[in-house]
């Protein structure tokens, strides 16, 4: 039997770095802003996979592609909150699947460190989360992004004015 090759539609182009962070307007209510740091390896293939499978990306989410989840240090996380992000997500590879060895571990360590600072500032730790995926888990990434946006909508606007 001949093996049939099923062509998938061409992947949607990844959003450029300069994409305007518009969010979704719902009447006059506040628009939630979520920042997701995506590791270049498994999470990024999940993300392009979302485009291939035609899954919608929540408009509230702005994605920054980094070479490793471990690159996102405390200073970058604080900078995201300083600029007015209501929620920040670090998306990395599974702990045994890291290209660089210790990326997810470092990311978790950085998040724990940032939690303590957010606690002093009076920001809820639910606003910051780490997620990990294997390269084929596009559906999981999609549902988690939507869930995270919903959760941040529940928490409401950040008290930081982001000027």
Among 117, 125, 126, 134, binds other proteins (CB under 8 A): 117
Sole binder of other proteins in the list 25, 56, 116, 143 (CB under 8 A)? 116
Q: Does 159 bind other proteins (CB under 8 A)?
A: yes
- Per-residue contact track with other proteins, 46 to 75, x per CB under 8 A? ---------------------------xxx
Using CB under 8 A as the binding criterion, the count of chain residues that bind other proteins stands at 20
Could you say whether residue 126 binds other proteins (CB under 8 A)?
Answer: no
Q: How would you write the chain as a 3-class SS string?
A: CCCCCCCCCCCCCCCCCCCCCCCCCCCCCCCCCEEEEEECCHHHHHHHHHHHCCCCCCCCEEEEEECCHHHCCHHHHHHHHHCCCCEEEEEEECCCCCCCCCHHHHHHHHHHHHHHHHHHHCCCHHHEEEEEECCCCHHHHHHHHHHHHHHHHHHCCCCCCCC
User: Which residues lie near other proteins (CB under 8 A)?
Assistant: 73-76, 78-79, 81-82, 113, 116-117, 119-122, 159-163
């Amino acid at each position: 039997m001949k093996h049939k090759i099923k062509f998938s539609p061409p992947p949607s182009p990844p959003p450029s770095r300069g994409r305007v962070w518009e969010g979704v307007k719902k009447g006059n209510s506040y628009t939630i802003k979520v920042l997701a740091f995506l590791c270049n390896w498994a999470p990024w293939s999940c993300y392009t996979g979302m485009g291939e499978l035609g899954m919608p990306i929540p408009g509230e989410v702005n994605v920054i592609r980094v070479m490793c989840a471990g690159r996102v240090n405390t200073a970058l996380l604080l900078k995201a909150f300083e600029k007015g992000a209501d929620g920040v997500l670090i998306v990395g590879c599974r702990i045994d699947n890291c290209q660089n060895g210790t990326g997810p571990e470092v990311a978790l360590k950085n998040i724990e460190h940032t939690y303590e600072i957010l606690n002093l500032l009076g920001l809820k730790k639910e606003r910051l989360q780490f997620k990990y995926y294997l390269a084929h888990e596009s559906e999981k990434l999609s549902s988690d992004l939507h869930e995270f946006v919903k959760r941040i909508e529940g928490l409401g606007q950040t008290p930081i004015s982001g000027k």
